[in-house]
């Protein structure tokens, strides 16, 4: 039993290691004029080349977009000279996930905002240990962002990571909240503060490029049936439209969505079109601290 747990934790850590390598290499490509699609494909193939699988499509959300943006099929969009870019990457090995995000400020105008999200993440990680409550984490994040003059996004949260479940309980709000959950040794969670100069909330907008399988159900349309078979391999984890076979794809997706087989993830943008910065790491809770699986700084153990 002990051994099995160790074995599982090793997979979480190996996923984190792949993520760090791919993230650092991909950051070199987040430059004005480069295509978002090239970065997303670089990340996803980099993960596979190293023996992992993407736990979700590479998210590249810009400016007022906070999450769930990923390039479309043949997307020609390029980074602008002043884009505030969130690169959110997920890797899994055998279902055990690492999830991490960084913000790149291409114009160099929003350093303070980026720093607010990073400081909130650092300070949250510092207080995490066996027995910490999500209430304390939310408080620390909220305080770090507010004392730098920004707002945390109240309806985006950190989350647990379970096998083939990239948004498992507990929810870890980025603000003070009631009914907290106590984190225990060997729990694996993602901490992800979002800071904004807008209103502090996200709303759904724009095209949907990301989906996940809720539950297979019988469908009649031939292409929908084929598509359903194809997406079973993601084990319920989110996947991108551009990963799918293109044969009558829109109709097949709509059919599955309307049958309740799929859920979709519309792009989330700040309600007042404020700018959004995000910082995220995955941590394993330990007796007297935590181990960050997605940190580029080696702890030298
Ligand atoms: Co996350």
pLDDT in tens, 141-154: 999 999 999 999 99
Residues paired with 240 in a beta bridge = 210
Q: Which residue of the set 99, 187, 209, 223 is catalytic?
A: 99
> How close is the Cα of 159 to the center of ligand 1, in Å?
7
The residue ranges of every structural domain in the chain are: 2-205+266-292, 210-265
Interatomic CA distance for residues 20 and 24, integer angstroms: 6
88 given a catalytic annotation: yes
210-265, which class in CATH?
mainly alpha
Ligand 1: centre distance to CA 77 (Å): 24
* 288 classed as catalytic: no
Parallel, antiparallel or unpaired: strands 276-278 and 239-240:
unpaired
Give me the pLDDT at residue 298, please.
57
Of 68, 167, 177, 281, which residue is the catalytic one?
A: 167
CA distance 40 to 76: 12
159 carries an active-site annotation: yes
Q: Is 281 a catalytic residue?
A: no
Instruction: For tokens 């399988």, name the residue.
Output: 213
Residue 235 bears catalytic tag: no
| pLDDT of res. 184 | 98
Which of 187, 280, 281, 291 is catalytic? The answer is 280
Among 92, 159, 177, 281, the one annotated catalytic? 159
Ligand 1 center to 157 CA (angstroms): 8
Query: Looking at the domain that runs over 2-205+266-292, which CATH code has it been given?
Result: 3.90.230.10
Regions of the chain with pLDDT less than 70: 1, 298-301
How many CB atoms sit inside 10 A of residue 206's CB?
12
The reported pLDDT for the residue numbered 227 is 97
pLDDT at residue 297, as a whole number: 74
Question: pTM of the entire structure?
Answer: 0.96
Out of 65, 192, 270, 291, pick the active-site residue.
192
Is 280 a known active-site residue?
yes
Tokens of 22: 């791919």
Cα 256 to middle of ligand 1, angstroms: 25
**Residue 118 alpha carbon to ligand 1 centre in Å:** 15
- Calculate the average pLDDT of the chain: 96
Which pLDDT score, from 0 to 100, does residue 206 have? 78
**What's the CA gap between 168 and 158, in Å, rounded?**
10
Find the 246 Cα to ligand 1 centroid distance in Å: 28
């Amino acid at each position: 039993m002990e051994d099995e747990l160790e074995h599982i934790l090793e997979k979480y850590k190996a996923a984190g290691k792949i993520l760090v390598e791919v993230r650092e290499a991909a950051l070199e490509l987040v430059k004005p004029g480069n295509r978002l699609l090239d970065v997303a494909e670089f990340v996803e193939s980099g993960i596979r080349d190293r023996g992992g699988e993407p736990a979700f499509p590479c998210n590249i959300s810009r400016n007022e977009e906070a999450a769930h943006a990923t390039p479309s099929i043949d997307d020609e969009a390029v980074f602008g000279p002043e884009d505030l870019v969130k690169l959110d990457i997920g890797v899994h090995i055998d279902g055990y996930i690492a999830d991490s995000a960084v913000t790149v400020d291409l114009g160099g105008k929003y350093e303070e905002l980026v720093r607010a999200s990073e400081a909130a993440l650092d300070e949250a990680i510092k207080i995490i240990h066996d027995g910490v409550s999500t209430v304390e984490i939310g408080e620390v994040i909220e305080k770090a962002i507010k004392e730098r003059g920004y707002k945390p996004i109240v309806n985006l949260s950190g989350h647990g990571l379970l096998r083939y479940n990239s948004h498992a309980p507990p929810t870890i709000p980025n603000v003070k909240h009631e009914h907290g959950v106590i984190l225990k040794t060997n729990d694996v969670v993602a901490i992800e503060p979002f800071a904004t100069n807008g209103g502090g909330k996200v709303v759904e907008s724009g095209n949907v490029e990301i989906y996940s399988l809720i539950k297979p159900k019988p469908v009649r349309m031939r292409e929908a049936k084929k598509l359903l078979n194809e997406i079973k391999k993601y084990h319920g984890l989110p996947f991108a439209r551009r990963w799918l076979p293109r044969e009558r794809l829109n109709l097949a997706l709509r059919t599955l969505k309307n049958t309740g087989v799929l859920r979709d993830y519309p792009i989330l943008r700040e309600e007042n079109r404020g700018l959004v910065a995000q910082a995220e790491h995955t941590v394993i809770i330990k007796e007297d601290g935590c181990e960050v699986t997605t940190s580029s700084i080696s702890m030298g153990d």
